[in-house]
Chains A and B, each alone.
Chain A
Amino acid sequence: MAKDGLTEFRLVGTRPDRPDGLDKVTGRARYGADISAPGMLWAAVVRSPHAHARIVKIDTSKAEALDGVKAVITRADFPEGLTGEAWNLQENTMAGDRALYDGHAVAAVAATSAFVAQDAARLIEVEYEVLPHVIDVDDAIKPDAPVIREGAADATVPEGMPPNVVRYMEFGHGDVEAGFGAADLVMEKTYKTEATHQGYIEPHACMGQMGEDGRGEMWVCTQGHWFIRKMCTDVLGLDPAQLRVTPSEIGGGFGGKTTIFMEPLSLALSKKAGGRPVKVVMTRSEVLRATGPTASASMDVKIGMTKDGQITAGRAEFRMQGGAFPGAPVDFALMCGFAAYKMPAVEHIGYDVLANRPRAAAYRAPGSPMGAFAVESLVDEMCRELGLDPLEVRLKNAVHEGDKASYGPKFGSIGLEEVLQATKAHPNLLAELGPNQGRGMASGYWFNHSGDTSVSLAISEDGTAQVSVGTPDIGGSRASIALMTAETLGIDYEDVRVNVVETGALGVNEPTHGSRATFASGKAAVMAAEQAIGEMCRRAAAKWGIDPEAVEWVDGAAQPAGPNAGKFPPMTIAEIAAKMSSTGGPIAGHHESVPEGVGASFGTHVVDVEVDPETGRTTILRYLVVQDAGRAIHPAYVEGQYQGGAVQGIGWALNEAYIYGEDGRLQNTVFLDYRIPVASDLPMIDTVIVEVPNPGHPYGVRGVGETGITPPLPAIANAIHDAVGVRLRSLPMSPPAVLAALKAKE
């Protein structure tokens, strides 16, 4: 019986073995760098050592003369005349007349070995004229800041804004000033978050091959190979139909592998090298300097609250830099910031600002963690000021189905109330705290997403099934799609194999992003299975000589739908499949759509910390994640998503940050200096799966991948305050930062 007590499932909600488990633990899984081919060349990339510089001259003659070098490229090898996002992608792939950040690619070389390629890269001479740079968002938005690019602002930016503002937004509803006037307490504070990296274990890697005839192949580690195909062909002026892209197994992405970085270089080098395949594998330093971290933020938040905890109004003004290109997720940060609260009046203002940093990419619930850090920290500050229980205040102001969201429309089915009640009932809230220990809580939100989806399903001769999907499996989607497909067909989980297939095999698919794979590819797989079931019912009806509408599908077999349909023994899927060749040929199903019915997901986290007053180090003692999954198809994977999101949020809160020197160069370019949490830093993360089924999905799925990274930032800040009485409004809350706050308090 499913956990909602209403629907009985054979498989959905169970925890079978992972289909990729054996391959991964035995080393058999093939990741991006594992792909090789006869005649393959190796690439190396020359990157700018300056944050901002005019490229005066590039001399490649010495590199070209080196034995073993087969191709050298600069921006001169790329087509001209691109505009809009295609130009942004090209400019980020290879600098044009200026290097815009430390690590920006300026040239690349392909050679017969990785060592020769690296030697050749060192022989490429680049003459720079160093220009003034700007790193911090509050500096970048000043009217006299160094200008990253004239004319980059889009139509939303009114005239007269500072030159690095490239997108501007305002939205809200209600009378905010009247709301503040009705409050007993109004507080306004400023919060800052630093840029962090997704920290996936597998660096970017690909092998590209492109012939003189414009036909090519790519094997690549990515969240979305149709995006790779479109972006590469846009940047290089190629025909998308002639490029076939095959995804590898993926060692983490978290949003950072939804775009291109060095992939077009492999194709351009291959073409110049006579069509020999070219492999590019980034070092960790290249990943940190030159791929897509998230944005940094500076945020002013103002909230009005009555003495009994009713929120009367809110205002948020967020400034974010997303590197030297537009796209900082300030819009989502604003939309998610107040999402957990019924807001009678709210005003949002946002600025997307350019700075001399690498172009931001998506990172798990893009923007939402920053918005939560600002709003959920201030809500906690106000609860303490008024002597209110922060959980009760969240319950009092919680949004429900039909309420107007802070960002405009009404909510559909949501489970925030259920999440908060499950949190309230958890035993972690009763654990006693000792000296220098404290407890903090916060909620988080993500919309979830659908997108272009194409799935096909083939019934084998023995009645087993293979499902072809276009969403790379990052967090367990092969297992969840197999479970839903097997449930629908009425066969065993082990009798379904889900394959992530290349771009030639399906219609266009958006990447695995927006927590969409189990929702969208899963929904499409169920639709494809139902199409195949319809065909199998027709074949049974033909054998029985009855109307197809008089046949139903029960427990993996066709059977007459009622006594009037006739008396025939059930015909199993294996029996129908065995006769497919003589009853009309192959049996398959497919589905293509942008599946509608996306269900949003709320979560609440509670963390207990201990702060060492001598060092400022914060230790996580206990950590609880409670989140609405809609329905957990494979609960172990759902728990893994909850735990993974929490751990990334803990890293963002306590340690991770892009640290730049005065020269604008990134100083922490390896994991020794860019400190992500490891298992020994953390206790087991406790999880509670709340299930408020999403009516827009056949099995109630919402999508669970992103919300979990949102609450840790404010929850930990709130816990540190509870432990030692200091409020940190800037991240990371590293030992030196906490120690400084403790000393300031003295």
Chain B
Amino acid sequence: MSGAVSVHLWSSLTRFTDGARVVAVEAGTVGQVLEALSGAYPGLEPILEAGVSVVIDDELVTDHHSAVPEGAEVYLMQRIKGG
């Protein structure tokens, strides 16, 4: 099951998305969001491969099988860890 999802990128990635800070992809899971981004914007692939944190609405999500509700706001952020 997939639907339209808005993905917010940090803006230095807009070099790879023809200037768009928010891009729409068809996806039903976090993994599908990342695959769709790499497919549509190949320049993003090494950055996504290196690891990013994914936030769906207000929840940091790590499981790439997690569902992304239609209409959800997805944010890609620098990968968070800590000290």
Contact = CB atoms under 8 A, between A and B. Distances in A.
Contacts of B62: 450, 594, 596
Interface string B41-83: 0010011001000010111111100000000010101101111
A449 interface: yes
Contacts of B77: 335, 407-409
Nearest to B63: A594
Interface in B6-52: 8, 10-13, 15-16, 43, 46-47, 50
A314 interface: no
Contacts of B8: 408-409
Interface string A540-561: 0000000000000000000000
Contacts, number: 98
Contact of A156 (B47, B55, B63, B82): B47
A25 B57 CA distance: 47
A362 B81 contact: yes
A409 B57 contact: yes
B50 A514 contact: no
Interface string A162-173: 000000111110
B38 to A, nearest CB: 12
A513 B83 contact: yes
B46 A362 contact: no
Interface in A701-734: 705-706
A425 interface: no
Contact of A331 (B55, B61, B78): B78
Nearest to A84: B50
B11 A171 contact: yes
Contacts of A214: none
A476 interface: no
Given A409-B55, A409-B57, A410-B57, A169 B10 contact: yes
Nearest to B44: A155
A596 B80 contact: no
A521 to B, nearest CB: 14
Interface stretch (A69-77, A138-146, A363-371): A363-371
Nearest to B57: A410
Contacts of B73: 409-410
A514 B58 contact: no
Interface in A566-620: 594, 596-598
Contacts of B59: 412, 596-597
B82 A446 contact: yes
Contacts of B43: 155
Interface in A424-448: 446-448
A168 B12 contact: yes
B80 A332 contact: yes
Contacts of A132: none
A366 B75 contact: no
A407 B78 CA distance: 10
Interface residues of B, number: 27
A365 B78 contact: no
A363 B83 contact: yes
A362 to B, nearest CB: 4
User: Of residues B60, B80, B82, B83, which shows the largest number of chain A Cβ atoms within 10 Å of its Cβ?
Assistant: B83
Nearest to A593: B63
Interface string A121-155: 00000000000000000000000000000000011
Given A155-B46, A172-B11, A411 B81 contact: no
A408 B12 contact: no
Grouping DSSP codes into helix (H, G, I), strand (E, B) and loop, the A interface class, with mixed when no group exceeds half, is: loop
B83 A365 contact: yes
A448 B53 CA distance: 12
Contacts of B47: 154-156
A705 B58 CA distance: 22
B82 A449 contact: yes
A53 B65 CA distance: 48
Given A156-B12, A596-B62, A366 B57 contact: no
A461 B80 CA distance: 42
A514 B80 contact: yes
A514 B11 contact: no
B12 A366 contact: no
B78 A169 contact: yes
B54 to A, nearest CB: 10
A170 B82 contact: no
Contacts of A258: 83
A332 B78 contact: yes
Nearest to A448: B82
A402 B59 CA distance: 11
Nearest to B13: A156
A446 B75 CA distance: 18
Nearest to B60: A598
Contacts of B46: 154-155
B71 to A, nearest CB: 14
Contacts of A171: 10-12
Contacts of A451: 81
Contacts of A450: 60, 62
B77 to A, nearest CB: 6
Contacts of B60: 447, 450, 596, 598
A590 B77 CA distance: 31
A472 to B, nearest CB: 14
Given A169-B10, A170-B11, A594-B62, A449 B80 contact: yes
Given A155-B46, A331-B78, A594-B63, A411 B83 contact: no
A736 interface: no
A509 interface: no
Nearest to B73: A409
Interface in A475-508: none
B81 A514 contact: yes
B13 A514 contact: no
A705 B81 CA distance: 13
A158 B13 CA distance: 10
A449 B53 CA distance: 11
Contact of B58 (A198, A410, A446, A449): A410
Contacts of A255: 82-83
Contact of B81 (A170, A335, A412, A449): A449
A516 interface: yes
A170 to B, nearest CB: 4
Contacts of A155: 16, 43, 46-47
A170 B83 contact: no
Contacts of B55: 408-409
Contacts of B81: 362, 366, 449, 451, 510, 513-514
Given A412-B59, A598-B60, A706 B83 contact: yes
Given A155-B47, A408-B10, A510-B81, 4 more contacts: A170-B10, A255-B83, A362-B83, A412-B59
27 contacts: A156-B12, A158-B15, A168-B12, A169-B12, A170-B10, A170-B12, A171-B11, A198-B83, A255-B82, A256-B83, A331-B78, A335-B78, A362-B81, A364-B83, A365-B82, A408-B55, A410-B57, A412-B58, A412-B59, A448-B82, A451-B81, A513-B83, A514-B80, A514-B82, A514-B83, A515-B82, A594-B62
Interface of B: 8, 10-13, 15-16, 43, 46-47, 50, 55, 57-63, 73, 75, 77-78, 80-83
Closest 5 A/B residue pairs (Cβ):
A255-B83, A514-B82, A362-B83, A171-B10, A331-B78
